[in-house]
Amino acid sequence: MRDQHSSSHLARLIARIDTRHAVIAIIGLGYVGLPLSLRYAEAGFQVLGIDIDPHKVAKLNEGASYIEHIPANTIATARASGFEATTDFSRASHADALIICVPTPLNAYREPDLSFVLATADALVPHLRAGQIVSLESTTYPGTTAEELRPRLESRGLSVGVDVFLVFSPEREDPGNQHFDTRTIPKVCGGDTPACLQAGMALYGAAIDQVVPVSSTRAAELTKLLENIHRAVNIGLVNEMKIIADKMNIDIHEVIRAAATKPFGFTPYYPGPGLGGHCIPIDPFYLTWKARQFGLHTRFIELAGEINSEMPHWVVGKLTDALNERSRSVKGARVLVLGIAYKKNVEDMRESPSVELMEILRAKGAIVAYSDPHVPVFPPMREHRFELSSVALTATSISSFDVVLLATSHSAFDYALIAQHAHLIVDTRGVYLDRLSNVVKA
């Protein structure tokens, strides 16, 4: 009898997805959840966005956007096709699919903080019913879906793989990337049971061009961590190479450009002032924490993290030396930080190394300002507070600073104007390829 129930629930769910009658609920309307909501709306589904932030919900229901690279007309189009945002979790009972896209940060001890995921799951549990699929997209350690979400779903008296279906499908958003979007980025999906995987493949196959199945939710969870740890370790390598090259008076960016001409066996990674964003500075710690439960030490990962976390201090050291050579001290120096988003051409400031640079410089007595066309006013942040607005770049404003610290290489900056009028530039991104007397590579 249970096999019949499983078969009927699964068949009905897949039929509703295939015919676009399924209601898709996305929980967490940030940089991952909002683009996914818009993609499902574009694919012809009725989409319900759920978020605890009433400000976000109000803006979306007005047809407005709060993410720079998502235009308001895209929101308006989705609204016209039935997309709606709400703070009411009870409405999850009307959805066929519940996709969780909430943050997974680290706590003060650099350990995984699953509070957002678990609070979301607990808020959804009272409204679960047979025939639904629950998907977790938040990056986490292997075992989270099976060990944390499955017991919560089954506490409702629902059997996973029979009554409800549980999958993990890691997000792969890359804000500002003009070559890929939510539809065209392949989607990995792992199910808690074979029936769960079948449901997950149908769910994501209806909106994403290519869905890649893996054998379990654990495999899917580890896939995401490997992707980001791969980047973190390689960036740590080139950051260490940068320090070596600097001691040898060699431009590391010239070396990387030359090495990248090799048509096989080499992938270019680029150094910078530190790691930023919601994934790469955080995700490796999820695996190192989990590995310790198995008596394992992730030496490569931890070493790369050590190197990358020291980069802001190394950059400030280069800036200090450059000022000293010009008979200036950091204390009292006017420093303009160019770019405070964590990557070029976006407004996202999560874990931005630029902000850490500002904190270090301020602690040393520097007078800090910033210029970033994507961040007109420094936003309120949990760990950082600067009462600042973006400085407009003119010949007069640039020349009023003792040093310009190029931290994020936005395309909108006029680098020729900056080079012409800056007394000193500390370039952490390899923007200035020529050897200029007022440019120091860091």
Strands 187-191 and 165-168, by their bridges, are: antiparallel
CB-based contacts of 17, cutoff 8 Å, min separation 6: 96, 97, 202, 203, 206
101 is catalytic: no
CB-based contacts of 322, cutoff 8 Å, min separation 6: 403, 424, 426, 440
Q: Can you give the length of the chain in residues?
A: 442
Enter the tokens of residue 138: 């938040």
> What residues does 234 pair with on adjacent strands?
none
CB-based contacts of 363, cutoff 8 Å, min separation 6: none
263, HSE (Cβ side, Cα atoms, 13 Å): 0
End-to-end CA distance of the chain: 67
CB-based contacts of 187, cutoff 8 Å, min separation 6: 169, 172, 204, 208, 210, 211, 212
The residue from 101, 189, 196, 279 that is catalytic is 279
Q: Provide the annotated active-site residues.
A: 279
